[in-house]
Structure 1
Amino acid sequence: MKVGLVIYGDLNTLSGGYLYDRKLVEYLRNQGDEVEVISLPWRNYLRHGTDNISLALKNRLRRLRADVLLQDELNHPSLFLLNRQLRKVVAFPLVSIVHHLRCMEEHPRILRWFYRQIERVYLNSVDGFICNSQTTLQTVREVVKSQKAALVATPGGDGLEVSPNEKIVAYSQKPQVRLIFVGNWIPRKGLHILIEALQGLLDLDWRLYVVGRTNLLPSYEQKIRRMIESGGLSQRVEITGAVSDEELVKRWQTADVLVVPSQYEGFGIVYLEAMRFGVIPIGGQSGAAHEIIQSGINGFLVPPNSSADLRDTLRKILSDPDLMNRIKKAARVRYEQFPTWQSSMASVRKFLVTQFLQ
């Protein structure tokens, strides 16, 4: 099978969506399929729209030798009009990989309406969807109002290489609880909400490790650093930046609680990854995190943008070692109920073959 994949920038970009695309490319190539990655340059949203009138891009895609063309839905502003032209001149189907819709993120109402219109046109221009969660598929169905071929293939939580003798480490009554935030520094991930919540927990013994790219939005980075300093947290928050997979494994193995109170997640790979190591995940209620976390059983969900609710949840966990130990063990059990990357990507390949190539 010959496959094309349209993305922005580098396939090795650090994010859950790019990890999903990367795992799919890796699996397809291991099955003997040919995969050509078509990388479009990163620009702002409006400038991406000019790709729709790019003769160079149109000709490149038209000349593509493929049985199917996959498109990361993130690229919708570059393709929402171009796809209609492509369908007239190519024989291969267009299939969108949808991690989450931009119109579901927190934006001013008029912007969300605008994004929804563009995404509606784009989603109607493809032949099928690969979604990372039932929540994502539901939002797609609500926007498109049609029954195109679709598959839900959830990400795996086993992307990091760990020694075969890995095991959950029960909470050991140690006085200091290790909190961890893993994610890029963008407002949607809710790091500012976490920092604000921690300012009200200085009476408890904890330490926060912040893992992820810091420099995507310089103004947001400055805001976070100011909050840490002004809140008296400088001695209790360690900023590591982006780390290697080996270092991330070490961080997971010593962490107790993951806190990523996102405004919205199309799935939330980081929560599942935490559960693999028996780390309690705290996520946001909006989006698909509820498909992973059963709040109060194997993790906790908090309302988005509520530092007060997050503070109360953290105080509850930090003040009750027995509760922490119980939730940590339940988190590991929950992880084992999800498919591996291998099995999920196998289902994607089967979907492509049976739906579009037979």
Structure 2
Amino acid sequence: MAEFAFAIPGDPDQRTGGYLYDRRLAAELPRQGWQVRPVRLPDRFPFPGAADLAATDRLLADLPDGMPVVVDGLAFGAMPEAAARHAARLRLVALVHHPLGYETGLSSQAATQLIESERAALGHARHVVVTSTTTAQTLAAAFGVAEAKLTVALPGTDPLPVAAGSDDVAPAMLAVGSVLPRKDFPALVDALATLQDLPWRLVIAGSLARDPAEVDRLRAAVGRHGLSERVTLTGEVAADELRALLHRSDLFVSSSRYEGFGMALAEAVAAGLPVVAVAGGAVADWMDPDAAVLVPPDRPDELALALRSVLVEPDRRHRLRMAALAARSRLPDWAACAAAVAAALDRVARA
């Protein structure tokens, strides 16, 4: 069996979409003929210090000549000098979930620096794996990556039981994701504040530890609108708890300003849930338009109108649910994701 190194920054068991993707890919690739050598990079990417970059350089230097090395994009885009030093000796493959500089909440200077850093780093990759066609198009158009060097490996989605719903007069809405500026949960709360004449309740399931300032902004929005009895913040939940929440929900909502794919949305479709979502980034690439009401980013009034229409029209929710039930069988699985990455590794190994 061929071997490759998989370099991931920080704790690989973190419960984010990117880390979940990495874990599932590592579990599936041996079935495609590729043995994984895990390499844990320092935690502080994508904002490493000099010591973190020196440690990364040493870890790469310890790998044998000619080895394929997949580096998660959270680190790869922030290590252009290390990529340049090892590009001739190692077969570097970048795994880009979405461009680092496109993260919401960065200063314009930080965003520009990350975009320039990632553009430089990607110039040293032999191949680039991305999780959506949108990211592939972005890297080709804005980061100078040749289309021939790009492989799209869509995230898989595990089958889920069909959601039973809440059986409550107040529809149960679920939003999933770490509380970060990109997820823009305060915008969702602001939209729902205009719907206080309707019965509803919302659960936001995701880490409250990654960005304390954004958590404060979200709590302030809930308090300002007097919604503490309607909006619940669970914090990070385990996989079985998330599945239970999906099973008890009536509607899935997403206010994310940008998604490299949107794995939580795919899980909602897998559970047969109707969806109202901001179509930021790659969401519209794959989401069945009959299973979701999609609104553009930065249109709070349209988000509020979409939510109102779905809440007040049970027949519309039913139609969305039926479309989701039909669409869930078309979601890609993890075997297909790993097969696409294995083909890219085969190509890099032969080159």
Q: What are the Cα deviations for residues 275-299 of structure 1, in whole angstroms up to 9, with x where unaligned?
A: 011112222223100012244x210
Whole-Å Cα distance in 2 between the matches of residues 266 and 31 of structure 1?
Answer: 24
Alpha-carbon distance change, 226 to 147 in structure 1, aligned in 2, over 3 angstroms: closer
Matches of 1:82 and 1:74, distance apart in 2: 14
Question: Which residue of structure 1 aligns with residue 29 of structure 2?
Answer: 28
The residue correspondences of 1:160-175 to structure 2 (distance < 5 A) are: 162=160, 166-167=161-162, 169=164, 174-175=168-169
Q: Matches of 1:238 and 1:47 in 2, distance apart?
A: 34
Q: Which residue pairs with 1:263 in the alignment?
A: 257
Counterparts of 2:163 and 2:229, CA distance in 1: 29
Structure 1: any 5+ residue segments left out of the alignment?
none
Q: CA RMSD in A?
A: 2.2
Q: Distance in 1 between matches of 2:350 and 2:116?
A: 30
CA deviation vs aligned residue, 1:101-143 (integer Å, no higher than 9, x gap): 0223334444433222111101101000111110010111111
What SS class does the counterpart of residue 267 from structure 1 fall into?
A: coil
SS at match of 2:182: helix
Is 1:48–1:78's contact at 8 Å kept on the other side of the alignment? no
Match of 1:71 in 2: 71
Q: Once the 2 structures are TM-superposed, how far is the Cα of residue 31 of structure 1 from its aligned partner? A: 5.0
User: Which residue among 271, 282, 287 is the counterpart of 1:277?
Assistant: 271
Asked if residue 2 in structure 1 is aligned to residue 6 in structure 2, the reply is no
How many percent identity over aligned positions?
29
Residues 201-240 of structure 1 aligned to structure 2 (within 5 Å): 201-240=195-234
Question: Are the equivalent residues in 1 in contact too, given 2:39–2:59 (CA < 8 A)?
Answer: no
- Name the SS for the 1:187 alignment partner: coil
Cα displacement (A) at 1:239: 1.9
Alpha-carbon distance in 1 for matches of 2:176, 2:305: 21
Q: Hey, what's the Cα distance between the residues in 2 that align with 1:310 and 1:97?
A: 32
SS in 1 for 2:331: coil
Unpaired runs of 5+ residues, structure 2, are: none
Cα distance in 1 for partners of 2:10, 2:167 equals: 45
The 1:15/1:144 distance shift into structure 2, 3 A limit, reads same
Does the CA contact (< 8 Å) of 1:68 and 1:94 recur in 2? yes
SS in 2 for 1:247: helix
SS in 2 for 1:36: strand
Aligned residues: 347
Q: Distance in 1 between matches of 2:145 and 2:267?
A: 33
SS in 2 for 1:188: coil
SS of residue in 1 equivalent to 2:69: strand
The residue that corresponds to 1:317 in the other structure is: 310
- Once the two structures are TM-superposed, the CA of residue 306 in structure 1 deviates from its matched residue by 3.0
Question: Offset at 1:77?
Answer: 4.8
How far, CA to CA, are the matches of 1:302 and 1:208 in structure 2? Answer: 19
1:7-86 equivalences under 5 Å are: 7-30=8-31, 33-43=34-44, 45-48=46-49, 51-52=52-53, 54=54, 56-65=55-64, 67-86=67-86
Deviation at 1:76, TM superposition (A): 2.8
What TM-score do the two structures reach when normalised by structure 2? 0.91
**SS state of the match for residue 157, structure 1?**
coil
Q: State whether residues 173 and 321 of structure 1, in contact with CA within 8 Å, keep that contact through their aligned partners in structure 2.
A: no
Distance 1:30 1:339, change over 3 A: same
Q: Distance in 1 between matches of 2:140 and 2:49?
A: 25
SS at match of 1:265: coil
User: Counterpart of 1:234 in structure 2: which amino acid?
Assistant: S
Is 1:304 aligned to residue 305 of structure 2?
A: no
CA 1:179 to 1:77, structure 2 compared with 1: closer, same or farther past 3 Å? same
- Structure 2 distance, partners of 1:285, 1:322, is 23
Report the CA distance shift for 1:154/1:49 in structure 2 as closer, same or farther (over 3 A): farther
